[in-house]
């Protein structure tokens, strides 16, 4: 019993001592702007001092010195230009030859020949009938147009030219020379050939030159002479000569290949 009383008295004394110690400690306030030095004196602390940046920043640390960059020196070794060696000229082709698409041929032929186009005996448009053979995509089995110049295409071009020219020349014979679609100015063969070269091949031949029409003129003369030997009269032989010139013009690579 006495021991319990002694323990209670000791606990009460310890609690009072702790309360007295806490009461003697001053709590700093937000308005305290003083700073106590090691000597016990207080020095005022300004707001600027509180806002100073840490000393690890170079511009606040006087021990960090800025080193200026070294001046630039040209480290390239001077050399004299050497004359390049001559090399053989090499020609690189960017692509293979391409031809006009079927849609262009179908549109150009009647435009150039006054509405006459490639048809069969039943008056069906052969560009439509042979569209797949001529390389047009059907977007079912073939999804890309084939514009390559193949042997089959050249054979069909020959058939088309023969069919069209056999209808164009008789139609031209019924028109005035200045209104003909192919053999315009037919009485002056060289003038007519210059017109043909310009219209179908885009080649201008000067009036004082025959270099660009000489092959067609030779073909015209040979066919005209051969037709007369077979007994055709002058008009028939002339039409036959223009017909062969027409076929040669359309089947020429200058007409459909680019």
Domain total of the chain: 1
Residue 200 lies in a domain: yes
Domain membership flag for residue 77: no
Is the residue at 215 inside a domain?
yes
E-state strands within the chain: 34-36, 42-44
* pLDDT at res. 140: 87
- Which residue did the predictor score with more confidence, 72 or 227? 227
pLDDT at 148: 82
pLDDT one-digit tens code per residue, 127-165 = 999 988 888 888 888 888 888 888 888 899 999 999 999
**Pairwise pLDDT comparison (61 vs 254), residue with the higher score:** 254
| Structural domain includes residue 251 | yes
Does 12 reside within a domain? no
pLDDT value at residue 59: 55
Checking phi first, is residue 202 left (phi over 0); if not, alpha (psi -120 to 50) or beta? left
Domain of 109 in residue numbering reads as 102-256
Share of the chain above pLDDT 90, in %: 41
Q: Answer yes or no: is pLDDT of 248 > 80.
A: yes
Residue 255 has a CB neighbour count (10 Å cut-off) of 19
Q: How confident is the model at residue 191 (pLDDT cuts 50, 70, 90)?
A: very high
- Give me the mean pLDDT over the 203-207 stretch: 92
As a whole number of angstroms, the distance between CA 47 and CA 242 comes to 108
Contact present, 153 and 135 (Cβ < 8 Å): yes
| CA distance linking residue 155 with residue 161, whole number of Å | 10
Average pLDDT, the chain: 79
- Please give the Cα distance from 241 to 237 (Å, whole number): 6
What length is written for the chain?
Answer: 258
Average pLDDT over residues 90-107: 77
Residue 60 lies in a domain: no
Tell whether the model's pLDDT for residue 241 goes beyond 60: yes
And the tokens for 250?
């359309």
């Amino acid at each position: 019993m006495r021991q319990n009383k002694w323990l209670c008295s000791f606990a009460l004394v310890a609690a009072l001592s702790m309360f007295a110690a806490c009461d003697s400690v001053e709590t700093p306030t937000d308005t305290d702007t003083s700073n106590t030095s090691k000597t016990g004196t207080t020095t005022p602390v300004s707001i600027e001092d509180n806002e100073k940046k840490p000393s690890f920043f170079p511009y606040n640390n006087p021990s960090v010195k800025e080193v200026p960059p070294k001046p630039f020196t040209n480290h390239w070794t001077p050399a004299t230009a050497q004359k390049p060696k001559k090399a053989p000229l090499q020609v690189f082709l960017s692509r293979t030859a391409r031809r006009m698409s079927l849609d262009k041929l179908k549109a150009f032929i009647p435009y150039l020949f006054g509405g006459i186009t490639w048809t069969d005996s039943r008056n069906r448009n052969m560009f439509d009938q042979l569209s797949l053979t001529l390389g047009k995509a059907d977007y079912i089995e073939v999804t890309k147009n084939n514009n390559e110049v193949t042997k089959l295409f050249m054979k069909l071009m020959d058939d088309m030219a023969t069919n069209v020219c056999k209808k164009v020349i008789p139609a031209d014979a019924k028109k005035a020379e200045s209104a003909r679609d192919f053999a315009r100015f037919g009485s002056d063969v060289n003038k007519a050939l210059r017109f043909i070269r310009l219209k179908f091949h885009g080649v201008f031949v000067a009036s004082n030159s025959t270099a660009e029409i000489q092959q067609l003129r030779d073909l015209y003369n040979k066919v005209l002479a051969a037709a007369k030997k077979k007994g055709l009269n002058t008009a028939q032989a002339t039409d036959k000569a223009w017909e062969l010139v027409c076929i040669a013009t359309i089947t020429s690579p200058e007409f459909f290949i680019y």
